[in-house]
């Protein structure tokens, strides 16, 4: 198994949470007030699963391995991706603050704008990793080195998350997907012509 396959699976979970966040934004725009518990869960998922767990693997294992394999650390994709990790962290801190204000009765307009900017940032960031960095890693690392990366991911995760945390976050994601489902597609209306 390639180490990047594990990271892509985590990307899939992050993108699912971003879709939930978009649906929460839609509800806020319609005047709904999502449960504080749900908003806190989204922030926790983004801070712990997406950042500490996932970005931690990239920053602590994958990127250093790529630098050791010859990719420059100061120019090119790695510094760009690291800067985007920092930007994402700042966005999530802003979301957390905005959600607290909203839960206390504040206006949701700004958090909707901030959330959508964050969603765009992370979607583009994930695309860059999957199109640029992951293929480089797959090309440069043989099966033995891939195994070393995977072991590094496991050690890093064990030091950063309590046992069972990843499963807890995935269950939380599933619960939030049920609480904020995708709207069913509307049938196309007939505009003219025979049936």
Chain centroid to Cα 21, Å, comes to 11
Residue 195 and residue 178: Cα distance in Å, rounded?
A: 36
Cα-only R_g, the chain: 19
pLDDT 10s digits, 122-153 = 999 999 999 999 999 999 999 999 999 999 99
Q: What is the reported pTM?
A: 0.90
Residue 32 CB-density burial (10 A; 0-12 exposed, 13-18 middle, 19+ buried): exposed
176 burial class (0-12, 13-18, 19+ CB within 10 angstroms)? buried
Total number of residues shown for the chain: 195
The 10s digit of each residue's pLDDT in 152-191 is 999 998 888 888 999 999 999 999 999 999 865 555 554 4
Q: What is the mean pLDDT of the chain?
A: 92
| Residue carrying structure tokens 């505009």 | 191
What is the rounded CA–CA span in Å between residue 191 and residue 53? 51
Name the DSSP letter for residue 60. Answer: I
Neighbouring C-beta atoms of residue 38, cutoff 10 Å: 19
- Residue for token digits 């609480």? 179
């Amino acid at each position: 198994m390639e180490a990047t396959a594990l990271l892509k699976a985590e990307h899939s979970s992050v993108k699912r949470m971003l879709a939930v966040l978009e649906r929460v934004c839609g509800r806020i725009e319609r005047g709904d007030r999502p449960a504080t518990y749900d908003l806190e869960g989204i922030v926790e998922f983004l801070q712990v699963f997406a950042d500490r767990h996932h970005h931690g693997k990239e920053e602590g294992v994958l990127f250093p391995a790529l630098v050791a394999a010859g990719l420059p650390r100061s120019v090119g994709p790695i510094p760009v991706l690291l800067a985007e990790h920092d930007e994402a962290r700042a966005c999530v801190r802003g979301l957390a603050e905005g959600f607290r204000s909203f839960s206390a009765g504040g206006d949701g307009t700004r958090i909707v704008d901030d959330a959508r900017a964050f969603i765009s940032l992370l979607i583009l960031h994930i695309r860059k990793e999957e199109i640029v960095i992951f293929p480089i890693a797959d090309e440069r690392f043989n099966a033995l080195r891939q195994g070393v990366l995977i072991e590094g991911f496991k050690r890093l995760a064990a030091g950063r998350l309590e046992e069972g945390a990843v499963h807890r976050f995935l269950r939380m994601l599933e619960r939030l997907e049920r609480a904020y489902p995708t709207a069913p597609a509307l049938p196309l209306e007939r505009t003219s012509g025979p049936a």
